[in-house]
A = this chain, B = another copy of it.
Amino acid sequence: MKPLPRTVQWIGDLPGHVRLIDQTLLPTQVAYRDCKTVEEVWEAIRTLRVRGAPAIGVAAAMGVVVGIQSHTDPANYGKRLKEVADYLRTSRPTAVNLFWAIERMEKKASEPEALVKGVTRVLLAEALAIEEEDRRMCRAIGRIGADLVQEGQGILTHCNAGGLATAEYGTALAVMYTALEQGKQFRVFADETRPLLQGARLTAWELQQAGIDVTLICDNMAAQVMREGKIQLVVVGADRIAANGDTANKIGTYGVAVLARAHGIPFYVAAPSSTFDLAIKDGSQIPIEQRDPREITEGLGKVVAPAGVRVYNPAFDVTPAELIAGIITEKGLIQPVNEAAIRALLEG
């Protein structure tokens, strides 16, 4: 397999900087952006140059190091760290992984180890650990999921649960990368994923980079492609999974699940165990965010709908557990999907 582009990486030792692929320029331009100040990291997260929960977490952790590394007054380290952390938290206030990663960095700075080895050194190690853990998680999901891929299959995916959203292989796409490494032959169909076209812009691009046979379709073509017998497996990512297995993911996922069921095609979710929210009983408790109508009416730089038209633009939908054949996590495959099986894997 061709090496995947690095989504986020630390360049140099100390002082060093964050290099990330500018996802706002994909797929027409592949450009890396070096962030040498915490302001530049903040801007990259804010403007979606880096996106995807795990990738944001890694970028933010490295951003903390960038913000602290030139601070030469040991007496005020704590104050500076808090400033940097609070500032980075404002870059994307709805991103759970952003808060999780920054909190982890702050906690690390207060441990005895930091006093011995130096705060900056320990924080860099922690940021790299977050990156490495994410990489391992992706690889584990890939290994477990690749067993589901049979020679010659067609696989459908929706949105981008790929390397561009994580430190390396992604979740749903990790399944495909690993199957490719195992020498399996298969084809992928990528839904373009309106309104923001993550499937066209990101998934098609990264699969193409890796040398995977990928075909781009509009979302409304998935049913026809299934009917023609071109799809034997569906794998998608997840934003949040309830205790019973109901799964929130990018809008359109639920429709794909219904179509897969109607055509007898197994529908799998690939997600790290951190995606489960056991405090949520089922999907009815997951709020559906409504987004700006302009994403639909003028999201591609051209106005395509009449002025003042009412628009419904839910960011996510919820796929009920009964439509999900299995959930691929780094800890194992949950199959069948129900609360007992989920708790057994996560708590066992």
Contact = CB atoms under 8 A, between A and B. Distances in A.
A28 B303 contact: yes
Contacts of A223: 252, 254-255, 258, 317
A138 to B, nearest CB: 22
Given A204-B306, A304-B200, A255 B296 contact: no
Interface string A19-35: 00000001110000000
Sorting the interface of chain A by its residue count into under 10, 10 to 19, 20 to 34 or 35 or more gives 35 or more
A224 B255 contact: yes
Contacts of A288: 224
Interface in A269-315: 288, 296-297, 300-314
Given A194-B219, A214-B309, A221-B313, 19 more contacts: A194-B220, A200-B296, A200-B304, A215-B310, A216-B296, A218-B252, A218-B296, A220-B251, A220-B252, A223-B254, A224-B255, A224-B314, A227-B317, A258-B259, A258-B262, A262-B262, A300-B300, A300-B301, A302-B302
Contacts of A191: 220
Given A200-B297, A297-B200, A304-B197, A216 B310 contact: yes
A150 interface: no
A30 to B, nearest CB: 9
Contacts of A91: none
Contacts of A252: 218, 220-221, 223
A193 interface: yes
A200 B312 contact: no
A92 to B, nearest CB: 23
B258 A221 contact: no
